[in-house]
């Protein structure tokens, strides 16, 4: 019975944790892109994003991490034999990478608050895909365990990376085109008003 409770809240914890990580870096993107706005909008937006990032990290994302890890420890306490399973070693390795990503997000948050972040919106969009890849691998390991079809999984991850890269580039192209169209319309309107 304890195993089921631990497992249920482990799932709840990682859903909350991943939701926070997905949205956090999205806020970083908006924060960086606020630099393109004129004043006073730039300052207002950056201050608002800083508040949102801190609250999301402290109130949702980090507690999600702690619940996930605490419940995983609970699961292992009910069945110590799991520690002998190779799939679990791989899963724990990927979780360690994810925890590193979580900690790196805190560093980025501090850099953004101090106006020292060197990341662009485009590069942050790519960074935002890292937890997706980790999620896929971690869930597949937990589901298939030692029977994970590694060839198929490798192709799946490769396909996801290609899809994400193409999507990011396509999105950037659409944004540039829309920005150029808007700039052209503004020039036209200002030219009409000049007459």
**How far is C-alpha 97 from the geometric centre of its chain's CA atoms?**
13
C-beta pairs of 47-56 under 8 Å, 24+ apart in sequence: 49/112, 50/112, 50/113, 52/27, 53/24, 53/27, 53/28, 53/109, 53/112, 54/109, 56/20, 56/23, 56/24, 56/27
The mean pLDDT of 102-112, rounded to a whole number, is 98
The answer on pLDDT for 171 being more than 90 is no
**How far is C-alpha 46 from the geometric centre of its chain's CA atoms?**
19
The mean pLDDT of 2-27, rounded to a whole number, is 96
Q: What is the pLDDT of residue 124?
A: 95
Residue 107 annotated as binding site: no
Choose among 176, 171, 99, 180: nearest CA to 134.
99
Residue 10 annotated as binding site: yes
The mean pLDDT of 14-32, rounded to a whole number, is 97
Choose among 138, 126, 122, 130: nearest CA to 101.
130
pTM of the complete model beyond 0.75: yes
Q: What is the pLDDT of residue 192?
A: 58
What percent of the chain has a predicted confidence (pLDDT) above 70? 96
Is 113:50 a contact under the CB 8 Å cutoff?
yes
């Amino acid at each position: 019975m304890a195993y089921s409770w631990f497992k249920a809240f482990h799932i709840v914890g990682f859903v909350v944790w991943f939701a926070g990580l997905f949205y956090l870096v999205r806020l970083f993107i908006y924060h960086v892109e606020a630099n393109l706005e004129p004043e006073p909008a730039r300052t207002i937006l950056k201050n608002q994003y800083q508040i949102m990032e801190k609250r999301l990290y402290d109130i949702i994302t980090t507690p999600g991490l702690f619940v996930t890890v605490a419940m995983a420890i609970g699961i292992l306490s009910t069945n110590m034999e799991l520690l002998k399973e190779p799939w679990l070693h791989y899963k724990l390795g990927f979780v360690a990478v994810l925890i590193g990503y979580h900690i790196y997000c805190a560093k980025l948050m501090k850099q953004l608050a101090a106006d020292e972040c060197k990341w662009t919106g485009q590069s942050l969009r790519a960074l935002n895909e890292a937890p997706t890849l980790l999620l896929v691998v971690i869930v597949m390991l937990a589901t298939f365990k030692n029977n994970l079809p590694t060839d198929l999984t490798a192709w799946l991850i490769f396909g996801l990376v290609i899809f994400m890269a193409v999507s990011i580039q396509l999105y950037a192209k659409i944004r540039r085109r829309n920005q150029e169209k808007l700039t052209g319309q503004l020039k036209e309107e200002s030219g009409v008003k000049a007459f």
